[in-house]
């Protein structure tokens, strides 16, 4: 194998799958990237057996071939080379891969390409439900719900985002392609119009780490770029441009989070989402802990956000709002409120629908129904 590739193209190609390769692997080949040079492209694949990322970048292929080298070392080398430079990779006779750029040279140990597992091919054996979404729609759908995912190991089925085609539910009866995630204390739902071909999509739980990879890949695309999705019983595959990303699903049943959605919260708080986010950020500066309770005091069209800490001190801020209800004091985990406020900061006026201090609240954008959040309060 002998190939020359542009530095920026190689950096971008290696960055897409960087989070897939584990820092430490008991199986050495899983620390490597598979390099395949053929035609006019260098194809790079990385896998951890649960997720696989494949990408092609334009290259000058002098001799076709395939080999695997350390993904981390190759990524660091490419990043250290001068912008706009050319990087040459060549399989040497001594069992190493010679990498050079300008006056710099490296020799990396390699393993045979035949040892690299083709995990994606195994996943593609089952039939798929195929549909497409543009990058901005897929990002919006996954980003909202991802905020509420769980990290606990016991209820592992909550460590992801559940995606399905459905009607009804808490989104004012709106159907379509829906996502939901919950950690037991909060739940977020999102919905977009059902794309062609997705009507039979059953509940699939995409792991949070895979969601993050998809969001990162989609961020490098134009908003209207189509991402093709093949949804299978045990795995999903995403394709766009010159990359393909596949991931196994969490093999379990996702709980029916729709049942915890309040249906009759009579009191409504209307507030600008950006103002709420900024106020929470300032107030929680002295809390020192995302787990510390933040109090919302509501009275006469004024929201007072406050927190108290014997170790770090107290803080409060008044925010203008429109409140339709009696005076109320309700507490939430500061980290939960901050996470929600950050992801909806560009939504303009949002509504928080409440009943009593001990009941869950509902958060949504005023006049819209494409997302919906439920947040459990904490005792003050």
| Residue 172 pLDDT | 52
pTM of the predicted protein model: 0.90
Q: Would you list the domain boundaries of the chain?
A: 2-117, 127-259, 262-375
pLDDT reported for residue 311: 80
Average pLDDT, stretch 304-324?
Answer: 89
Q: Report the C-alpha dihedral over residues 13, 16, 21, 22, rounded to 10 degrees.
A: 140
Query: For position 166, what pLDDT does the model report?
Result: 80
Q: What tokens does 47 get?
A: 């896998």
Per-residue pLDDT at 153: 81
The 10s digit of each residue's pLDDT in 10-38 is 999 999 989 999 888 889 999 999 999 99
pLDDT at 81: 95
Q: Mean pLDDT throughout 220-237?
A: 92
pLDDT at 168: 54
Per residue in 60-82, pLDDT (tens digit) is 999 999 999 999 999 999 999 99
C-alpha–C-alpha distance, residues 52 and 162, integer Å = 20
Overall residue count recorded for the chain in this entry? 380
Report the percentage of the chain scoring pLDDT > 70.
Answer: 96
Q: pLDDT above 90 covers what percent of the chain?
A: 57
Judge whether 127-259 and 262-375 match in fold.
yes
pLDDT for 119 equals 83
Instruction: Kindly report the number of other CB atoms within 10 A of residue 80's CB atom.
Output: 12
Residue with token string 């000058």: 60
Average pLDDT of 204-222? 94
Tokens of 4: 């020359």
Cβ atoms within 10 Å of 71's Cβ, excluding its own: 23
Tokens of 195: 């794309």
* 327-346 tens-digit pLDDT: 999 999 888 888 888 888 78
Q: Which residues of 29-64 are buried (b: 16+ CB within 10 A; e: fewer)?
A: ebbbbbbbbeeebbbbbbbbebbbbbbbbebebeee
Residue recorded with tokens 């510390």: 292
Question: What gap in Å lies between CA 289 and CA 351, rounded to an integer?
Answer: 26
pLDDT in tens, 258-305: 777 887 889 999 999 899 999 988 988 887 667 788 999 998 889 999
Provide CATH code, domain 262-375: 3.10.150.10
For residue 346, the model assigns a pLDDT of 80
The C-alpha atoms of residue 170 and residue 186 are separated, in whole angstroms, by 14
Look up the CATH number of domain 2-117: 3.10.150.10
Residue 325 tokens, joined: 């209800």
Task: Say yes or no: domain 127-259 is CATH 3.40.640.10.
Answer: no
Question: Are 66 and 113 within 8 A, CB to CB?
Answer: yes
CA-to-CA distance for 124 and 24, rounded, in angstroms? 27
């Amino acid at each position: 194998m002998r190939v020359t590739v542009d530095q920026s193209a190689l950096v971008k190609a290696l960055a897409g799958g960087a989070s897939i390769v584990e820092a430490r692997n008991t199986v050495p080949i899983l620390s490597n990237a598979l390099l395949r040079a053929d035609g006019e492209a260098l194809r790079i694949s990385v896998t951890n057996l649960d997720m696989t990322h494949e990408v092609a970048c334009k290259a000058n292929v002098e001799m076709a071939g395939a080999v695997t080298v350390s993904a981390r070392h190759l990524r660091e080398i490419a990043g250290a080379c001068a912008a706009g430079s050319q990087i040459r990779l060549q399989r040497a006779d001594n069992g190493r891969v010679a990498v050079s750029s300008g006056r710099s040279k490296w020799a990396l140990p390699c393993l045979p390409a035949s040892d690299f597992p083709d995990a994606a091919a195994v996943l593609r054996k089952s039939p798929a439900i195929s549909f497409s979404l543009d990058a901005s729609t897929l990002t919006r759908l996954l980003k909202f719900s991802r905020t509420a995912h769980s990290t606990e190991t016991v209820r592992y089925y909550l460590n992801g985002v559940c995606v399905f085609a459905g009607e009804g539910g808490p989104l004012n009866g709106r159907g379509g392609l829906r996502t939901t995630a919950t950690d037991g204390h909060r739940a977020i739902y999102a919905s977009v119009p059902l794309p062609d071909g997705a009507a039979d999509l059953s509940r699939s739980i995409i792991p949070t780490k895979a969601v993050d990879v998809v969001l990162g890949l989609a961020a490098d695309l134009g908003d209207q770029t189509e991402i093709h999705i093949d949804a299978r019983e045990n795995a999903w595959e995403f394709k766009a441009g010159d990359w393909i990303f596949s991931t196994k699903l969490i093999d379990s049943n996702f709980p029916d989070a729709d049942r915890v959605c309040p249906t009759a919260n009579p009191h409504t708080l209307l507030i600008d989402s950006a103002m709420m986010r900024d106020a929470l950020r300032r107030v929680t500066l002295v809390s020192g802990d995302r787990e510390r309770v933040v109090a919302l005091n509501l009275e006469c069209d004024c929201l007072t956000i406050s927190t108290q800490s014997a170790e770090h001190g107290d803080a409060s801020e008044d925010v203008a709002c429109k409140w339709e209800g009696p005076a109320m004091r309700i507490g939430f985990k500061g980290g939960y409120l901050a996470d929600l406020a950050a992801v909806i900061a560009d939504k303009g006026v949002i509504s928080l629908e409440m009943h009593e201090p001990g009941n869950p609240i509902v958060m949504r954008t005023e006049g819209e129904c494409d997302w919906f959040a439920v947040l459990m309060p904490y005792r003050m």
